Structure 1
Amino acid sequence: MTTRDSKLTGVILAGGLNSRMGGRSKALLSYQGRTFLEHQLEVMRSCCQELLLVTNEPDRHKPVLPKHFNVTLIPDRQPGLGPLGGMQAALHAAKNDTLWVAACDMPFISATAAQALVGLLEEDSRDAAVPRLHGRVQPLHGLYRRRCLPFVERQLQAEDLRLMRLLDKLYTAYADEDFFETRQIGLDFARNVNDPAAYEQLLQGR
């Protein structure tokens, strides 16, 4: 069971070009009768006081937002800079000190996993806490402090858009499979659907 944390801002990054999906918005893909975006917002609102959607196409996404979710839509401050640019916008806009940042192509995000990461973040006053599952880091189901903003902006200024480089510069905690499994948290929360083949697998239950 999750509880709403007044110190947590939920962020969904939906500012990409969706080129691997042929221009089709991944946030608006349908799964079990609802869009990915609706699934994600439902999960985030269970533990986040504030919800932000980073998108450069508000007219495309706003009509499908459940009106009672109270989501704030914000654009990239510097369009075309990928997830790091989206994080810059969110870090500027967030009212809370801690942000849970997720990519829009992850239909199984987990509030329980996010709250476990909050605990890890606070254990040693970390800048960020992210999953590292089967050796693969998942920066876009991660927790970030607002104090990460100067690091993000310096990296953008250097035209380095690599999220892994950002994590290397931050005081980052990494949570492996055992961290989640000992808490009885499944690992499917990190699954992403970023091309038609992956979407077809999802619809077929694979």
Structure 2
Amino acid sequence: MKTSFSVVLLAGGKSRRMGKDKRMLPWTPTIQGRPQTILQHVITRASELTDDIIVVTNDSLNVAPARPVTDIYPDCGSLGGIYSGLMSTSNSLAFVAAADMPFIEKPLVQNLLERIGDADAVVPIIDDRPEPLHAVYRKTCTASMHSRITSKQLKIAPVFNVLKTEWVSEVEVRKIDPELRSFRNLNTPRDYRQALADQTD
């Protein structure tokens, strides 16, 4: 399947609060009787969206059918990861998410993509805060990101002040994802246990 956008998954976190590499924690459903890892599960979800999936990681991981890429600028946090992923895409648009978000929902991603218009980025607002790791970006955003990275201004939120950003309110998001499952990530053992209990697919 050929699609007009890419998916970029950031998988470079340190998993400090989890106490172990959360990317490798088991997840269901199984493949040939063996549990997927969380990372494999998120890649599988992404493969339902597009055939161009990029995993930004500085570790040697099996991410097939995705493409692994390393940080162009190491130790630059999520901004550096987004930049590296966008620079590696084969499309002009990309949906960016964290690799520990197991409940990515296709209808919401499609809705965000449909809102791009002439904007540079489409970013949900949840709990009055932007969600840059569940957002859509044009590849052209890399110019502004590069400028901030090279000047060591690594916070993501200020980037949106120089981009033409389409904000999506929580009210609008909840019309598609009433429980905001798409935005759940797994930072702690409690998060992981709860997500396993709550999964429905």
- TM-score of the two chains, using structure 2 as the length reference: 0.87
Give 1:52's aligned residue.
54
Task: Give the counterpart of 2:152 among 127, 150, 159.
Answer: 159
Question: Once the two structures are aligned, what percentage of the paired residues are identical?
Answer: 30
Give 1:108's aligned residue.
103
Secondary structure (helix, strand or coil) at the match of 1:52 reads strand
> What do you get for the CA RMSD once the two structures are aligned?
2.0
Task: Give the counterpart of 1:31 among 27, 48, 57.
Answer: 27
Task: Supply the distance in 1 between the matched residues of 2:41 and 2:129 (Cα, whole angstroms).
Answer: 24
Give 1:120's aligned residue.
115
Give 1:10's aligned residue.
7
Secondary structure (helix, strand or coil) at the match of 1:88 reads helix
Task: Supply the distance in 2 between the matched residues of 1:175 and 1:38 (Cα, whole angstroms).
Answer: 28
Q: Is the 8 A contact 2:42 2:100 kept in 1?
A: no
Give 1:97's aligned residue.
92
> How far did residue 131 of structure 1 move?
1.3
Unaligned runs of 5+ residues in structure 1 are none
Secondary structure (helix, strand or coil) at the match of 1:189 reads helix
> How far did residue 175 of structure 1 move?
1.2
Give 2:32's aligned residue.
none
Secondary structure (helix, strand or coil) at the match of 1:10 reads strand
Secondary structure (helix, strand or coil) at the match of 1:121 reads coil
Secondary structure (helix, strand or coil) at the match of 2:146 reads helix
Q: Is the 8 A contact 1:134 1:176 kept in 2?
A: no
Secondary structure (helix, strand or coil) at the match of 1:56 reads coil
Q: Is the 8 A contact 1:112 1:185 kept in 2?
A: no
More helix by share: 1
The amino acid that maps onto 1:35 is T
Q: Is the 8 A contact 2:6 2:50 kept in 1?
A: yes
Unaligned runs of 5+ residues in structure 2 are 29-34
Give 2:31's aligned residue.
none
The amino acid that maps onto 2:140 is R
Cα offsets for 1:71-112 (capped at 9, x unmatched): 111100111111111112112111100011111121111221
Q: Is the 8 A contact 1:5 1:47 kept in 2?
A: no
Secondary structure (helix, strand or coil) at the match of 2:3 reads strand
Query: After the TM superposition, which of the residue ranges 83-92 and 195-204 deviates more from structure 2?
Result: 195-204
Q: Is the 8 A contact 1:7 1:49 kept in 2?
A: no
1:135-146 correspondence runs (5 A): 135-146=128-139
The amino acid that maps onto 1:36 is I
The amino acid that maps onto 1:26 is K
Give 2:70's aligned residue.
75
The amino acid that maps onto 1:80 is D
Task: Supply the distance in 1 between the matched residues of 2:168 and 2:25 (Cα, whole angstroms).
Answer: 29
Task: Supply the distance in 1 between the matched residues of 2:160 and 2:25 (Cα, whole angstroms).
Answer: 29
Q: Is the 8 A contact 2:56 2:81 kept in 1?
A: yes
Residue 184 to residue 17, structure 1, CA distance change in 2 (3 Å)? closer
User: Which runs of 4 or more aligned residues in structure 1 lie more than 3 Å from their structure 2 counterparts after TM superposition?
Assistant: 181-186, 203-206
- TM-score of the two chains, using structure 1 as the length reference: 0.85
Task: Supply the distance in 2 between the matched residues of 1:49 and 1:109 (Cα, whole angstroms).
Answer: 16
